[in-house]
Amino acid sequence: MKITDFKGDIRELKEILNIINKSNKDKHSLKNQEENIKLFCEESDDEYLSMRRNAYIEELEIDKTFKKNFGYLNLENEEQFKITKKYSNHFCNFQRKNPKNKLNFIDLFCGAGGLSLGFIQENYDVNFACDFEKVCIQTYLFNHPNVDSKYIKLSDIRDIENDIKKYIQHDKVSVIIGGPPCQGFSIANQQRIIDDPRNKLYKSYVNIVRILKPKFFVMENVKGMLKVSNQILEDFKNVGYNVTCRVLNAKNYGVPQNRERLIFIGNRLNIDNQKIFDELERNKIESFVTLKDAISDLRVLKASKEKNKTNIITNETGGIITENQNFDCNTYLKDINQGNKKSIITFNHQARYNNERDIEIFSRLNQGDKSDDPKIKDIMPYKNRVHIFKDKYYKLKYNDVCKTITAHMKFDCNMYIHPTQARGLTPREAARVQSYPDDYVFKGTFTKTYMQIGNSVPPLLGRKIARVLKKYLKEEI
């Protein structure tokens, strides 16, 4: 990593300190300033933390306001500590030294870390994680302060699979998890040929399972992979695993989203995987969580009318850090935040740019309306091809589950129009729909945040799977 990779962290921390400063204008302490800077810039043997320290020190020499604002920060204040702790090298150093749990997992193709988070929430530890997208690794590193950065690797899995034992923390692996990129099988991507070379990455997954011999593995993918499921089951059987696959819908497990994914579960403990899926079946919820449950408390925003202005934070369009205005907390929000109170700030809640025509379309549509609605016929940009682009625009329904969140949101959110506001969903709203907690910060450019969220496994679904596996793994400890 380079010092410039921490520009986002510094920008976010500055905004947080500015908000704290506004509420503590007459409480500056030079002693606090010096002590806090020392904690945030604490030395570390960890390469990531050491590089961040250097970035902080460099910026503090340039920006005297940044330096002064550390004097308003009171780390004995629970709220202020909570919203700044992941930016503190002292906190991260301490977390990395904490004793570890007995259960651990390896996440291949970890992305932003949704599936990992589900397992962490059930008290598994990260043994190793990797992805080939730099921005995903930046997000993963920041949000897992208890994991030494040398065990979170930016790499193509094919470059490390045969030497995988060199990279992991613990030789004994409880579970390997992950979803090999398989765009060629996606139902939403029918134009791609089925022999897309990316679909062979699951072979690397199989090879690592063969080498490391975890007790269990969990592999997630698109429903379209059912076409080749027999071959996949055979591949795992050949390396000693009893495997079963089933399509699970995240909405049945408390996620406010209609998201069907194919889940493979395998083990080498002679356990009948059908029993695991049967238990997951019994754990289905009786009534679905709605989109309204997930996002209605978030700050009202307007679409940005200026292109390429995502670095600007305003009350009207939001930003990477905004002040929270609503502290109400329903059952769903308590669940995804594991009982933690809502913070004074909100991360990644920013409306994207839309032109005047799109904003007008958003305004005219009612919830559940799409591109073929007569109310927008006169301004519809695809008038002569409505039959092809009937889903180009779609206004989401508050009192229903959301449609599947996908990485397409990095291009536009016209298929994800907010139910009551003339704009698309923000990254934070999409993250809420995916069941990410509010303190999970997505790094990188604005469009990259959508990509990371759209490609994620909902943590809440991961949590439900991890919980069932834990019963069988504890018997083996």
Active-site residues, by number, are: 182
- Which candidate, 291, 295, 260, 216, places its Cα nearest to that of 461? 260
Using alpha carbons, list the distances in angstroms from residue 341 to 36, 63, 347, 431, 439: 24, 32, 15, 18, 11
The first and second tokens of residue 147, run together, are 């994991």
Give the torsion through C-alpha atoms of 109, 405, 461, 224, to 10 deg. -70
Using alpha carbons, list the distances in angstroms from residue 113 to 155, 256, 312: 15, 19, 27
- Which candidate, 469, 467, 349, 436, places its Cα nearest to that of 139? 436
Q: How far apart are CA 440 and CA 455, in angstroms?
A: 15
Q: How far apart are CA 291 and CA 367, in angstroms?
A: 12
DSSP secondary structure letter of residue 192: S
User: What backbone phi and psi angles, to 5 degrees, belong to 266?
Assistant: -130, 155
The helix (H) or strand (E) run that includes residue 463 is helix 459-476
Q: How far apart are CA 430 and CA 411, in angstroms?
A: 14
Strand partners, 105: 126, 175
Quickly list DSSP for 21-83.
HHH-TT---HHHHHHHHHHHT---SSHHHHHHHHHHHHHHHH-HHHHHHGGG--TTSHHHHHH
Q: How far apart are CA 155 and CA 1, in angstroms?
A: 13
Q: Helices 7-23 and 47-62 meet at what angle, rounded to 10?
A: 60
